[in-house]
Amino acid sequence: MSRKGPRAEVCADCSAPDPGWASISRGVLVCDECCSVHRSLGRHISIVKHLRHSAWPPTLLQMVHTLASNGANSIWEHSLLDPAQVQSGRRKANPQDKVHPIKSEFIRAKYQMLAFVHKLPCRDDDGVTAKDLSKVRGAPQWMDRPFLFFPDP
Ligand SMILES: [Zn+2]
């Protein structure tokens, strides 16, 4: 079974090449070091499986690859894609960063605190309610994608 998608795969958290693990609940691929942090956070935060050594239902493996290659990670790092945030000094981890504290703090902020997830602006003036959010103009595309499968963090 080929692990290679159309693009070269890298760790969703630190960009290390050829990640060996997948987080089923987050739709991302991660390296050995970042996986160890995911495990330490607990299964309510991230459920990880090894891409080669774990038993996978084929459809689940396909789903994880599809999510990963379609940018699921940009949900968890939404605000990091904003140049203004980059200037503020917030950045993701690098492969060379120490697992503790650099990678672990980044991963905790990313998946446990949801520090970089897009927050819809509060707009009391036009009466938008939670039920209407999917109709808000400019709502991110991923709202149309099947993330309802994911357990709440
Ligand atoms: Zn990593």
Q: How far is the CA of 23 from the centre of ligand 1 (A)?
A: 12
How far apart are alpha carbons 81 and 59 in whole angstroms? 30
Q: How far is the CA of 107 from the centre of ligand 1 (A)?
A: 9
How far apart are alpha carbons 145 and 95 in whole angstroms? 29
Q: How far is the CA of 88 from the centre of ligand 1 (A)?
A: 22
pLDDT in tens, 2-35: 444 455 799 999 999 999 999 999 999 999 999 9
pLDDT of the residue at 122: 62
Q: How far is the CA of 123 from the centre of ligand 1 (A)?
A: 37
Neighbours of 34 (CB within 10 A): 29
Q: Which residues of the chain have pLDDT under 70?
A: 1-7, 85-88, 122-153
Contact assessment for residue 74 and residue 81, using Cβ atoms and an 8 Å cutoff = yes
Does the domain at 21-149 match CATH 3.40.309.10? Answer given as: no
pLDDT of the residue at 45: 96
SS3 letters across 61-97: HHHHHHHHHCCCHHHHCHHHHCHHHHHCCCCCCCCCC
Supply 107's token pair: 């991963």
pLDDT of the residue at 124: 53
- Tell me the domain boundaries of the chain: 21-149
